[in-house]
Amino acid sequence: MITPGKTIGIFGGGQLGRMTGIAARKMGYSVHIFEPAANCPAGHIADREINASYEDKEALKDFIQQIDVLTYEFENIPSATIEFAAEHRPLHPSSSVLFTCQNREREKLFLRANNIPHADFEIVTSEEELEAAVGKIGTPCVLKTADFGYDGKGQIKLSSEDKDFGKIWAQFSAPKAVLEKWVQFDLELSVICARNSKGEQCTFPVSENIHTNHILDLSIVPARISEHVTKEAETLALQIANQLDVVGLIAVEMFLTKEGKIIVNELAPRPHNSGHYSFDACVTSQFEQHVRSVCDLPLGSTELLEPNVMVNILGDAWHAGEPDWAKLLEDPKVKLHLYGKAQARPGRKMGHFCVMDKSLETALHKAQQYRNLITSTP
């Protein structure tokens, strides 16, 4: 057990690391961050920030020597770095969980091997394989890079009109891809599951997620789905966490099809954007739960205190200067989180806010109103 007072190391210095760090510090842990870019969101709240390349062995040794347990806040960390770190300190979720989830091919093969519902897919490594795969899967479908894809980056949707496979493959410029059937979904859902090394597991309330331009825009909690679908979504997430032997968090993104079937889209073994609401609206946040599980402490209650809607604040909101935060905060049931990023670029996640209310409908209505307010005012 890694008890409060010890030191947690985190690979990655973004907002997920920052919020995990805040939860850890609240509990009395020290937080050390390893992140290539200086002045990172997690660095601001850390006891120590190391800015070095993930390939820098000396910097890695120095980082590892001063921590008791290690985790990460994003998946694209080189395998050699992870293996090296895991030889010296406990790493959670494990390197094998990360290996499966950091690559779409391996993730899909895991879902297939474990009979977890997923969209039909084929692995593609050439123009010829792409043509054969489209013939097999049918259109519409979506071509996704096997490595380094997120928020819709490295994805092309293909329709029946797209027949120049040579051009598509050349444009795609990745050595390997997954071609996936396009799912006609009613809703997108996610379930975050926490698991500790004793195999104790629990889920957070199911979130209903609305994306705009492939980026999460709103999370509505609890999701507006039946009890039966809720149970099924939770059961699938628990099954996945158990089968992967996760210690820490795993976020499971799902589609609810028009026929009422759940299909798993993606896995992320870390805190997740669709779980940010838990920071304000659950007895234990996803960030605290991550700390508890990687430190092998008992898990906290994930009870939802009140229905709520989380809105992502993108860099676009700065188009005419700093948004009017004071106006947003006039509603005492709004919670604002800004990540301390220096540059507001369009599409960049700069922060989020959460609107709580006894009535989910009221929270949703207010959230949409406030989103318009901060995107339209300087």
Q: How far is the CB of 269 from ligand AMP (least distance, A)?
A: 15
Element (H, E) at 177: strand 177-181
Q: How far is the CB of 16 from ligand AMP (least distance, A)?
A: 16
> What is the spatial distance between Cα 350 and Cα 363, in angstroms, rounded to a whole number?
21
Element (H, E) at 186: strand 185-195
> What is the spatial distance between Cα 225 and Cα 205, in angstroms, rounded to a whole number?
12
Q: Considering beta carbons, is residue 254 or 356 the nearer one to ligand AMP?
A: 254
Which among 73, 19, 55, 5 has a CA at the least distance from the CA of 295?
Answer: 5
Q: Do 270 and 248 meet the contact criterion of CB atoms below 8 Å apart?
A: yes
Residues 50-89 binding ligand AMP (CB under 6 A) are none
- Among the listed ranges 123-131, 179-187, 332-340, 359-367, the one in contact with ligand AMP (CB under 6 A) is 179-187
70, 101, 142, 355: which one binds ligand AMP (CB under 6 A) = 142
Angle at CA of residue 83, ends 78 and 89, nearest 5°: 125
Letter for the amino acid at 24?
A
Q: Does 10 bind ligand AMP (CB under 6 A)?
A: no
74, 84, 99, 182: which one binds ligand AMP (CB under 6 A) = 182
31, 98, 179, 183: which one binds ligand AMP (CB under 6 A) = 183
Written as six digits, the tokens of 324 are: 């009017």
> What is the spatial distance between Cα 24 and Cα 288, in angstroms, rounded to a whole number?
7
Q: Does 152 bind ligand AMP (CB under 6 A)?
A: yes
> What is the spatial distance between Cα 320 and Cα 328, in angstroms, rounded to a whole number?
16
196, 265, 293, 302: which one binds ligand AMP (CB under 6 A) = 265
Q: Which residue is nearest to ligand AMP (CB)?
A: 183
211, 224, 231, 319: which one binds ligand AMP (CB under 6 A) = 211
* DSSP string computed for 290-345: HHHHHTTPPPPP--BSS-EEEEEEEGGGGBTBS--HHHHTTSTTEEEEE---S---
How many residues make contact with ligand AMP (CB under 6 A)?
Answer: 13
Dihedral (CA of 25, 30, 34, 39) sign: positive
Mask for 271-290, x = binds ligand AMP (CB under 6 A): --------------------
Q: Considering beta carbons, is residue 23 or 263 the nearer one to ligand AMP?
A: 263
Q: Does 238 bind ligand AMP (CB under 6 A)?
A: no
Q: Considering beta carbons, is residue 267 or 355 the nearer one to ligand AMP?
A: 267
Residues in contact with ligand AMP by CB under 6 A are: 119, 142, 149, 152, 180, 182-183, 188, 211, 214, 253, 265-266
